Each structure stands twice: as structure tokens, then as C-alpha cells.
């Protein structure tokens, strides 16, 4: 018996390297977010609210792929810091509309600035063109993976 032919197999595997890089980014990101009173899940919610100009709690839960009860807890954290406001929807009094406050927008901008510094630190070995290439390749990989999962692109955050 002969060996099976190898067809277009990459010489290197990326999974372990991507996991290592993601872990470094995650740990450094958490360390710069903590002094701002934010956790990654807070940052994602604030970003969604900024990019959408607000949202209903239900739509936010769907976008974040979180249970409604957990979203309420998340929003309670953000509201306690006056980073968001919740109001009854004028169209449907049973729903709450969530919007980013000016303080929330400022805190988000500080967080994004701090996270840019983290990315510069972690990806410091790459020049600008290499980072753009990496970004393009990662977006292509995410888009390809999303083609197999319904509604994936709607819930996958942009970098």
C-alpha cells in the first residue's frame, strides 16, 4: 500500500500562532481597559451602539449573541458609569432603546486609543504594509468562514 497523496497542503499551520497572538492581544487589551473601568464585552457593546446610533435591547442582545438577561447586566454596568442611556421606545413602550452618552463616546475613544497602542506593541515587528496585508488576509478568512454560517457577517465585529 502506498501513502495518500497530499493535495495543496500548506507547509505551515497557523492555528497555534493565531491563538498565541490572540492571547497576547487579549491579555494586553484587558490590562489597558481595566483602568478605564471597561471589559472587552463592554467595549463591544459601546462600539455597536456608536456604530448603529443606538439600538433596542433585544437587537443588541442578538448582535452580541448574548442572552437577554446577560445583556441587562451588561447594560446595568454601563448605565451605572453613565456611558449609556436607556429609554422607552416612543414607537413601542414595551421596548427599551439604548444609546451611547457623550461620556460613553469619550470613554470609548480613550479605550480605542489605548487598544491601538496595544496593537502597535503586539504587532510591532510588522511594518504598515505588512499590517494591512495581515488585516486583509484575516478579513478574507473571516468572510470565508462567515459564508458557511448564516448571519455571521452581521455579528462579526469589524477590526
* Measured CA distances, 11 to 7, 14, 119, 126 (Å): 11, 10, 27, 22
For 55-71, write each residue's pLDDT tens digit: 988 899 999 889 988 99
Encode pLDDT of 111-148 as tens digits: 999 999 999 999 999 999 999 999 999 999 888 866 65
Mean pLDDT, to the nearest integer, of 9-38? 91
- Provide the whole-model pTM: 0.76
**Is the backbone of residue 111 left (phi > 0), alpha (psi -120 to 50) or beta?**
alpha
pLDDT tier for residue 155 given thresholds of 50, 70 and 90: very low
Percent above pLDDT 90 for the chain: 62
**Neighbour-count burial for 79-105, b at 16+ CB within 10 Å, e otherwise:** bebebbbeeeeeeeeeebbbebbeebe
Reply yes or no on whether the pLDDT at 159 is more than 90.
no
Which residues have a Cβ under 8 Å from the Cβ of 26 and sit 6 or more positions away? 40
Mean predicted lDDT score pLDDT of the chain: 87
Domains of the chain: 17-147 (1.10.10.10)
Structure confidence at residue 5 (pLDDT): 64
Q: DSSP labels for 49-71?
A: HHHHT-EEHHHHHHHHT--HHHH
Amino acid at each position: 500500500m502506498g501513502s495518500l497523496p497530499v493535495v495543496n497542503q500548506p507547509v505551515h499551520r497557523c492555528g497555534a500562532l493565531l491563538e498565541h497572538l490572540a492571547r497576547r492581544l487579549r491579555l494586553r487589551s484587558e490590562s489597558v481597559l481595566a483602568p478605564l473601568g471597561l471589559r472587552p464585552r463592554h467595549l463591544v457593546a459601546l462600539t455597536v451602539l456608536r456604530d448603529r446610533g443606538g439600538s433596542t435591547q433585544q437587537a443588541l442582545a442578538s448582535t452580541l449573541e448574548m442572552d437577554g438577561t446577560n445583556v441587562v447586566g451588561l447594560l446595568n454596568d454601563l448605565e451605572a458609569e453613565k456611558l449609556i442611556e436607556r429609554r422607552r421606545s416612543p414607537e413601542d413602550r414595551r421596548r427599551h432603546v439604548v444609546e451611547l452618552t457623550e461620556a460613553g463616546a469619550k470613554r470609548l475613544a480613550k479605550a480605542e486609543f489605548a487598544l491601538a497602542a496595544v496593537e502597535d506593541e503586539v504587532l510591532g515587528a510588522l511594518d504598515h504594509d505588512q499590517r494591512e496585508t495581515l488585516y486583509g488576509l484575516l478579513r478574507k478568512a473571516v468572510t470565508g468562514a462567515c459564508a458557511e454560517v448564516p448571519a455571521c457577517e452581521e455579528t462579526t465585529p469589524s477590526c
